């Protein structure tokens, strides 16, 4: 399959964090197939390189920096300066990467709390901060953040206070960044997935012993989400088709957050 250069993201310079697998890999493949030049990063070098190989095998354009620690400001600044200087702009930033731990409130240590805030808030803030001047040079830029149903509601089956707080912060950041970006033609939106089947969720929330393993029965559309479900929405928000959309938190959860159980 060759890339259609008339695709929805044709000619765009797209930066995606966390491209070694899951939604990040899906986004890299999709954005490249839609005509973007993709720059990815991840802490996992082998899997990140595999994503590059998959993209290039289908005729897409992608480079990856790995391993890259998105909580290291010097590393993030250097990475984005290299991309921005090469092209004179960045058109799309998809801040996909994130990592959380889960525990009841009385068992969360301060180190646990700081870990989640660092790996779900700082690693959104730092790429946004250091890509900002290049996004402003685009004249028509889009930032897509990743929230969660956890950022808008609590859960009786998953003890996730830190994750709830961090994703609530990302949703709030979307609103403020949209306000600050509007004058510079930088749109900022958020996709908030519900339960998505990924290697990470399979090993944690969907594991046999976890109370959320049967969660599909509580989702109005009757199934778990896929990485493609989320990336479909992110692609729209990143594209010029969403040119009059900013400050939105788009729930991608099969109706889970909209309907009371039972």
Residue 225 has pLDDT above 90, yes or no: yes
pLDDT at res. 21:
95
pLDDT at 211 over 90: no
Q: What is the pLDDT of residue 108?
A: 96
What was the pLDDT predicted at 203?
61
For the segment 200-210, what is each residue's pLDDT rounded down to a tens digit? 666 665 656 66
- pLDDT value of residue 201: 61
Q: Is residue 32 part of a domain?
A: yes
Pairing of strands 61-65, 92-95: unpaired
The answer to whether position 220 is within a domain reads no
Asked whether the predicted pLDDT for residue 130 surpasses 60, the reply is: yes
Average pLDDT (116-142) is 98
Structural tokens at position 137: 């040079």
pLDDT at 2: 42
**The domain that contains 138 carries what CATH number?**
3.40.50.720
For residue 169, CA distances in Å to 8, 73, 150, 172, 205 come to 30, 19, 11, 5, 22
Q: Is residue 55 part of a domain?
A: yes
Give the residues across from 252 on adjacent strands.
193
pLDDT tens readout for residues 132-159:
999 999 999 999 999 999 999 998 888 9
- The verdict on residue 177 lying in a domain is yes
Residue 262 has pLDDT above 70, yes or no: no
Q: Is the pLDDT of residue 4 over 50?
A: no
pLDDT band at 244 (very low <50, low <70, confident <90, very high): very high
Residue 20: inside a domain, yes or no?
A: yes
Summarize pLDDT for 97-113 with one digit per residue, the tens. 999 999 999 999 999 99
Q: What average pLDDT does the segment 15-34 reach?
A: 98
pLDDT band at 236 (very low <50, low <70, confident <90, very high): very high
Question: What pLDDT sits at residue 3?
Answer: 42
Q: Is residue 223 part of a domain?
A: no
The band of 212, judged by pLDDT with boundaries at 50, 70 and 90, is low
How many structural domains are present in the chain?
Answer: 1
Give the integer Cα–Cα distance in Å for 31 and 231.
Answer: 9
Report CA-CA distances (Å) from 182 to 1, 68, 89: 37, 30, 17
In this structure, is residue 147 part of a structural domain? yes
Domain that holds residue 122: 13-196+230-251
CB 40 within 8 A of CB 52: yes
Task: Show Cβ contacts of residue 262 under 8 Å, excluding neighbours closer than 6 positions.
Answer: none
Q: Quick check: is 27 in a domain?
A: yes
Residues 6+ apart with CB under 8 A from 39: 13, 14, 15, 16, 62, 63, 64, 65, 83
DSSP 65: E
Per-residue pLDDT, averaged over 29-35, amounts to 98
153-192 burial, b for 16+ CB within 10 Å, e for fewer? eebeebbbbbbbbbbbbbbebbeebbeebeeeebbbbbbb
Tell me what the mean pLDDT of segment 36-54 comes to.
98
pLDDT of residue 147: 98
Per-residue pLDDT tens digits for 79-88: 999 999 999 9
């Amino acid at each position: 399959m060759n890339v259609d250069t008339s695709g929805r993201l044709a000619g765009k310079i797209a930066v995606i964090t966390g491209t070694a697998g899951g939604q990040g890999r899906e986004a890299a493949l999709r954005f490249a197939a839609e005509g973007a030049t993709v720059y990815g990063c991840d802490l996992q070098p082998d899997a990140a390189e595999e994503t590059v190989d998959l993209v290039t095998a289908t005729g897409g354009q992608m480079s990856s920096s790995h391993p890259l620690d998105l909580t290291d400001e010097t590393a993030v600044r250097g990475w984005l300066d290299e991309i921005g200087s090469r092209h004179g702009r960045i058109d799309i930033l998809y801040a996909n990467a994130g990592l959380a731990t889960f525990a009841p409130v009385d068992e969360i240590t301060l180190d646990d709390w700081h870990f989640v805030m660092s790996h779900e808030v700082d690693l959104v803030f730092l790429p946004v901060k250091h890509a900002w001047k290049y996004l402003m040079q685009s004249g028509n830029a889009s930032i897509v953040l990743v929230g969660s149903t956890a950022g808008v509601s609590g859960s009786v089956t998953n003890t996730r206070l830190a994750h709830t707080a961090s994703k609530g912060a990302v949703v709030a950041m979307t609103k403020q960044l949209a306000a600050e970006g509007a004058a510079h033609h930088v749109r900022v939106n958020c996709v908030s997935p519900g339960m998505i089947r990924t290697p990470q969720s399979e090993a944690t929330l969907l594991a046999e012993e976890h109370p959320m393993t049967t969660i599909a029965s509580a989702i109005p559309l009757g199934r778990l989400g896929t990485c493609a479900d989320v990336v479909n929405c992110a692609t729209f928000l990143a594209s010029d088709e969403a040119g009059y959309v900013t400050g939105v938190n788009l729930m991608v959860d099969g109706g889970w957050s909209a309907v009371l159980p039972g």
